[in-house]
């Protein structure tokens, strides 16, 4: 049997999913249940998961699925359910957010050491296409003329190949990474900035490994 708060929470989540197709935020759940902190919401959700009433969808924020509803409902809800027409199956949450790996900072100027740690970055799924993606925080100003600014988050689709003119993450000598236009120049690889204050960088092909291609950008405004 569920506690009163557990019952209130699963009913609230169920109703919100039926209305909008998107599960409520932790802040909305906290306010709906008149809880003092979000940690109480976390505990309730964990308890409902353990009892098989809820399931979290992987790699998505704010994505909960109601697996089953409790047999006993409050009188007001029972009356409403009896008079309401049958509901369709709860749709999958739309326009959700995907957590992708965030691998530190990458130079848009001179190369710096690549992948200085690993956390995650929430990204709207609509910004990403097919394939595997990761994010890097941009450091430097050498790509400003391509609209890539210091502090932006570069969304990278993982690949080991690139065509001339594409913006890539290039790993140099297996130790440093940079974000540049990729071009072939005779027997060399040329990495071009998008800032007239910087010069192109030229390397032997064996020195350069493409790690991915730019798929999009995220920018925060303080």
- Residues with a known catalytic role: 142, 180
What span, in angstroms and rounded, lies between the C-alpha atoms of 136 and 132? 14
Q: Around Cβ 137, how many Cβ atoms within 10 Å?
A: 17
Give how far Cα 110 sits from Cα of 75, 83, 105, Å: 67, 67, 12
Torsion sign, CA atoms 156, 161, 167, 168: positive
Q: And the tokens for 80? A: 């409403």
CA nearest neighbour of 11 among 50, 59, 44, 60: 44
The Cα–Cα gap between 178 and 170 comes to 6
Helices (H), strands (E): how many in the chain? 4, 13
CA distances from 144 to 73, 193, 201 (A): 58, 9, 17
């Amino acid at each position: 049997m569920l506690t009163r708060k557990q019952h209130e929470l699963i009913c609230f989540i169920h109703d919100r999913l039926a209305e909008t197709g998107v599960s409520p935020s932790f802040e909305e759940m906290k306010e709906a249940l008149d809880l003092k902190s979000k940690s109480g919401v976390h505990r309730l959700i964990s308890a409902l998961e353990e009892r098989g009433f809820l399931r979290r969808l992987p790699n998505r924020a704010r994505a909960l699925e109601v697996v089953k509803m409790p047999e006993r409902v409050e009188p007001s809800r029972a009356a409403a359910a009896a008079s309401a027409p049958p509901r369709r199956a709860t749709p999958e949450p739309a326009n959700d957010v995907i957590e992708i790996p965030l691998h530190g900072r990458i130079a848009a100027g001179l190369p710096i050491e690549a992948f200085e740690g690993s956390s995650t970055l929430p990204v709207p799924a609509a910004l990403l296409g097919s394939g595997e993606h990761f994010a890097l925080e941009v450091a430097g100003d050498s790509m400003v003329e391509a609209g890539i600014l210091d502090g932006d988050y570069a969304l990278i689709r993982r690949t080991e190949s690139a065509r001339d003119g594409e913006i890539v993450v290039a790993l140099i000598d297996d130790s440093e990474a940079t974000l540049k236009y990729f071009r072939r120049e005779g027997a060399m690889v040329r990495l071009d900035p998008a800032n007239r204050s910087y010069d192109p960088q030229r390397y032997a092909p064996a020195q350069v490994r493409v790690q991915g291609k730019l798929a999009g950008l995220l920018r925060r405004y303080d």
